[in-house]
Structure 1
Amino acid sequence: MSREKLKSLKRIVIKIGTNSIMRPGQQVDFRKLDRIAFVCSSLQQEGYEVILVSSGAVGVGAAMLKVSDYPKEISEQQALASVGQGALMNLYSRFFRAYQQFVGQILITRDVVDFPSSKYNCQTAINTLLKKGIIPIINENDAISVDEMNHQTKFGDNDTLSAIVARLIEADLLVIMSDVDGLYDKNPKLHSDAELLDHISAITPEVLAMAGGSGSTFATGGMETKLRAAELILANQQAMIITSAADPTVLFDIVAGEKVGTLFSQV
């Protein structure tokens, strides 16, 4: 999909990362949540079908419980996720309602999309919300997701989850909003001459070599997970953009076909 063809898309999956909804010092960024709600509601009003995949349950839980260090024990992580997911959805509901937009929560584990009947039910739930003009807000069910022998329930990161959701509902575009402007040919934090790449048509070893690590204490993703998500999207002949979440209104520029971030598409 070319930039020009982005003007004709209808169904968009938007993934927002933990770093993008948290302020330094483990505080929830209310201004950012409001802007996300404003942009998603505006796109919905303009006729787009919007699905929001939001990280942040553990980070918000840590903020609520004033936890400064990421816990090592799975049970402690699950406790933070349980507290944080409820708080996060409460915040989203309040901000979206300011724009007269309803949202619906869907929590997914990997086994849901691995089995035909549960996969169908998941697709039906998302599509029904969209038909009713309700924006689905999707997250991994971190409070119960663990990987055990012969029973894998974790996606591992929400970049992967967002790509799987995009494939599941045949979205026209996945936009991963992060703390970087897109994919650079080298780490821009270390190299002042790093150049932002406009278009990638395949995830090669050379492209993967450009990836760095995860961004913060409570974030599980990094550029590598985003490139793995792009790999899934390209294999399904879909399109994906990585861009900065600093100003969520950049999504208006994306649907207008303007050059924003890095576009991953086969053509």
Structure 2
Amino acid sequence: MYKRIVIKIGTKVIASPDRNLDKDIVKDLASQAAAVINNGSEVIMVTSGAIGAGLSLLNIKKRPRDISDLQATAAIGQNYLMRLYGEFFKKAGYLTGQILLTQEDFDDRTRFLNIRHTIDRLLRHKAVPIINENDTVATEEIRCGDNDRLSSLVADLSGADKLIILTDVDGLLDEDGSVIGYVDDITPRIAKLAVKSRCDLGTGGMSTKLEAARLAMRAGIECVIANGKERNVLTRMLIKGDRLGTIFKSGARRFIAKKRWIAYSSKPKGALFIDKGAKDAIFKNKSLLASGIVSVEGDFVACDVIKIIDDEKKEIARGIANYSSRELAEIKGLKTAKFKEALGREGPDEVVHKNNLVILENHSCPN
């Protein structure tokens, strides 16, 4: 039995053939999730469907292109969607708690940890967290695949041991159209099987789901992509133990939680270009010093996550900067003894401390 499970519900799963929100499907999924909780697991829901619900309520046939119209549609739909989840879970004996997130919540370490604490407290009170992208304020985030990625980020930060992504297909299909039952590594062949898609109601495709599965696997979380319209899909998988959809094997956690946050959850605000000597040093598990920095890109402040680019223009690492981009423009290439003269103050010897630096995958070097 899995202790904590994140269930992501795609827009097309809860849409009826006439493109309206299907209340019966929402009710059924809530009932199944409640049964899983009764069986001893904790459940966190990541749901799409706010924009689709809003389109239905407003009787709009096509997804708006204007961002303000899209955000207003999401605001109307989100309220209705939460009312349904609240009503159906209450009938099963559980309260719900709404959490709306944007990428900024994951970029800030304090906010990131606050999300985790809130989820933990909701679960302690036997309430079901219902999470969605905050489409009413986000702009860049209203794009293909956000809630697929969001579900994997939530699974990692909450310490889940299972991520289930429910969609409108039976799983990842091979070249002959048959479901691939088990994937232990997302190879180039597997990645090519994903087909990007877009519709007026939803914004995801198999490629975004594969990326979510990849993030989950890196965090040591088993992921399943399955058909949400399959009868009793949740109870069959999580109570009876049936194998449905495509199972993505959990990998060994390569990084501790903070370093996974640096590498995968936060979005870099800038980049540091370094010379070969600095590259060799960080590959030997040393900190990044200003003397090895060739140039600075972007506008960021101290404590932001930044990319580290080597002398071959390849991103090799990410880390938390101890200085702002303006300060680094003044001290790049300098020895630590020159910092006070350049900045008018003393500061840390390290631009990125080794404890806050992550060597990315595909680079065989220590961490």
Q: TM-score, normalised by structure 1?
A: 0.89
Per the alignment, in what secondary structure is the counterpart of residue 78 of structure 2? helix
1: CA distance, partners of 2:29 / 2:174: 28
1:257 matched residue in structure 2: 241
Could you give the per-residue CA deviations for residues 104-143 of structure 1, whole angstroms, max 9, x where no partner exists? 1000111111111101111011110011110000000000
Q: How many pairs were matched up?
A: 250
1: CA distance, partners of 2:178 / 2:230: 20
Unmatched runs of 5 consecutive residues or more in structure 2? 252-367
1:214 matched residue in structure 2: 197
Per the alignment, in what secondary structure is the counterpart of residue 216 of structure 1? coil
1:3 matched residue in structure 2: none
2:340 matched residue in structure 1: none
1: CA distance, partners of 2:144 / 2:157: 14
Going from structure 1 to structure 2, the CA distance change for 1:155 and 1:212 (only over 3 Å counts) comes to closer
In the alignment, is the contact (CA less than 8 A) between 1:212 and 1:222 conserved in 2?
yes
In the alignment, is the contact (CA less than 8 A) between 1:127 and 1:169 conserved in 2?
yes
2: CA distance, partners of 1:174 / 1:83: 28
Going from structure 1 to structure 2, the CA distance change for 1:204 and 1:183 (only over 3 Å counts) comes to same
Per the alignment, in what secondary structure is the counterpart of residue 93 of structure 2? coil
In the alignment, is the contact (CA less than 8 A) between 2:218 and 2:250 conserved in 1?
no
Going from structure 1 to structure 2, the CA distance change for 1:260 and 1:153 (only over 3 Å counts) comes to closer
Post-superposition offset of 1:101: 1.5
1:190 matched residue in structure 2: none
Matched, 1:46 2:39: yes
2: CA distance, partners of 1:153 / 1:73: 12
1:183 matched residue in structure 2: 172
Post-superposition offset of 1:159: 0.5
Q: 1:202 aligns with which of 166, 185, 190?
A: 185
In the alignment, is the contact (CA less than 8 A) between 1:181 and 1:261 conserved in 2?
yes
1: CA distance, partners of 2:84 / 2:162: 26
Q: 2:219 aligns with which of 236, 239, 264?
A: 236
Could you give the per-residue CA deviations for residues 11-44 of structure 1, whole angstroms, max 9, x where no partner exists? 0000000001111223110110110110111111
1:247 matched residue in structure 2: 230
Unmatched runs of 5 consecutive residues or more in structure 1? 1-7, 187-192
2:102 matched residue in structure 1: 109
Q: Which has the higher contact order (CA 8 A, sep 6+)?
A: 1
Post-superposition offset of 1:155: 8.8
2:127 matched residue in structure 1: 134
Per the alignment, in what secondary structure is the counterpart of residue 76 of structure 2? helix
Post-superposition offset of 1:156: 5.0
Per the alignment, in what secondary structure is the counterpart of residue 176 of structure 1? strand
**Which AA in structure 1 matches 2:97?**
G
Per the alignment, in what secondary structure is the counterpart of residue 89 of structure 2? helix
Post-superposition offset of 1:258: 2.2
In the alignment, is the contact (CA less than 8 A) between 1:110 and 1:153 conserved in 2?
no
2:7 matched residue in structure 1: 14
Post-superposition offset of 1:206: 1.0
Q: TM-score, normalised by structure 2?
A: 0.65
2:138 matched residue in structure 1: 145
